[in-house]
Amino acid sequence: MSTLANTLTIGQVAERSGVPTTALRFYEDRGLITSQRTAGNQRRFARSILRRIAFIRSAQRIGLSLEEISQALATLPHDHAPTKADWARLSSQWRQELDARIDALQRLRDNLTGCIGCGCLSLKSCALQNQDDDMARFGPGAPGLKPATEGGR
Amino acid sequence: MSTLANTLTIGQVAERSGVPTTALRFYEDRGLITSQRTAGNQRRFARSILRRIAFIRSAQRIGLSLEEISQALATLPHDHAPTKADWARLSSQWRQELDARIDALQRLRDNLTGCIGCGCLSLKSCALQNQDDDMARFGPGAPGLKPATEGGR
DNA sequence: CGCTGACTTCGAGCTTAGTCGAAGTTGCCG
DNA sequence: CGGCAACTTCGACTAAGCTCGAAGTCAGCG
């Protein structure tokens, strides 16, 4: 209110976080971040937004969807700025996610190794063909993967 | 039924492969599979298409895009039906792909473990924030990739 | 005051891997 | 020959995660 000196414009946040303004507005739209408005309707962000954005980008890197990230963020306390412990709690869950994913990939690889030997790739008998369970999330229909980082602009 | 007894309609291929006709047409559109046409313009597939489709689906499960699969398929011989060895050659490349991916995930996990401890998640210093290299491909980064056409500045 | 650049909203577009529906044609069985 | 299932093409639609452009507004400097 009185002193907005301690807040950041969207451009400043973009510069400091490396996340384009378009993406920041998109995140706000999706409820991942919030902002105040000036009298002139411009966004002003608290500095703590930077850590939040760092969390979001890291979580994306882990492979979570914005939806999932959004849910994780919702468990943060609303009555005070998140502490280190809060962030640590959230990110420790990523570990399990990662472990599971590594596991699934390893199983896939082991099956594949067998398949290369037998040269099967048969629709009926190949183990690779019948692994819908685990890999469904990471297999076909996977998000178009792309080095979206920087670079593009 | 004419002398095309040894070929399959799209419906038969769909049934045997478990891949919907819509997807099969889509694959043909993308050049992943090919077919002959009857006098009445209907598709007829050689039986060898089944193995090719099996390859495609397996490759997708591994996590390759249709584009990548298409490139792999292009290295198959055109002058004769692919042999077991041909398929084995291609699928052995998946192993390396998988190994690399597992590796990257493990590195990410290890970094994360450190980060949880330090509670950093800082934009500047956190290792998680600066892993654009490998993981960019596997995170659900933005498929908002730019059309190669314009050269976005 | 007036310029400029950073900001605002909104809607359209992009990619991947398809799916679905409409409208029309073929193939095959009795 | 009649009829119906299976085929044909084509365009629209989905979901995620943005980007871009248009048209207009605001902030701050000289």
pLDDT band, very low/low/confident/very high, at B96 (cuts 50, 70, 90): confident
CB A63 within 8 A of CB B138: yes
Q: In terms of CA atoms, which chain B residue is nearest residue A62? A: B139
The tens digit of pLDDT for each residue in A49-78 reads 998 998 898 888 888 899 989 998 988 887
Mutation site for B-interface testing, chosen from A135, A149, A150, A153 by largest number of B Cβ within 10 Å: A149
Nucleic acid strand D within 7 Å of A71 CB: no
CB B91 within 8 A of CB B62: no
User: Does A129 sit within 8 Å of B58, measured CB to CB?
Assistant: yes
- For residue A126, the model assigns a pLDDT of 60
Query: Sign of the CA dihedral B150, A14, A28, A84?
Result: positive
Helices (H), chain B: 10-17, 21-29, 49-62, 66-73, 84-118, 132-135
| Protein-nucleic contacts, chain A 37-56 to strand C, CB < 7 Å | 41-43
Average pLDDT, chain B: 76
User: Could you give the CA distance from residue A105 to residue B98 in angstroms, rounded to a whole number?
Assistant: 7
**Interface membership of B47 toward A (CB under 8 Å):** no
> Considering only CB atoms, which chain B residues are within 8 Å of A84?
119
Q: CB count, 10 Å around CB of A130?
A: 12
Chain B: nearest CA to A48, how far in angstroms?
A: 11
CATH fold for the domain made of A1-62: Multidrug-efflux Transporter Regulator; Chain: A; Domain 2 (1.10.1660)
- For residue B93, the model assigns a pLDDT of 81
User: Could you give the CA distance from residue A48 to residue A51 in angstroms, rounded to a whole number?
Assistant: 6
Instruction: Give mean pLDDT, residues A20-46.
Output: 94
Outline which parts of chain A fall under CATH 1.10.1660.10.
Answer: 1-62
Q: In terms of CA atoms, which chain B residue is nearest residue A113? A: B95
The tens digit of pLDDT for each residue in A77-102 reads 877 777 778 888 888 888 887 888 88
pLDDT band, very low/low/confident/very high, at B19 (cuts 50, 70, 90): very high
User: Does B109 sit within 8 Å of A95, measured CB to CB?
Assistant: yes
**Contact residues, A window 110-139, toward B, CB-based 8 Å cutoff:** 112-113, 115-116, 119, 121-123, 126, 128-129, 131, 135, 138-139
User: Could you give the CA distance from residue B8 to residue B15 in angstroms, rounded to a whole number?
Assistant: 10
| Protein-nucleic contacts, chain B 123-142 to strand D, CB < 7 Å | 140-142
Nucleotide nearest to B147 (CA to C1'): C14
Per the listing, tokens 């980064």 go with B141
The pTM score is 0.76
> Considering only CB atoms, which chain A residues are within 8 Å of B65?
144-145
The tens digit of pLDDT for each residue in A32-44 reads 999 999 999 999 9
CB A62 within 8 A of CB A99: no
- For residue B102, the model assigns a pLDDT of 86
The tens digit of pLDDT for each residue in A110-126 reads 877 766 655 555 544 56
Largest CA distance in chain A: 73
The tens digit of pLDDT for each residue in B106-148 reads 887 887 776 655 555 554 455 555 554 444 344 333 232 222 2
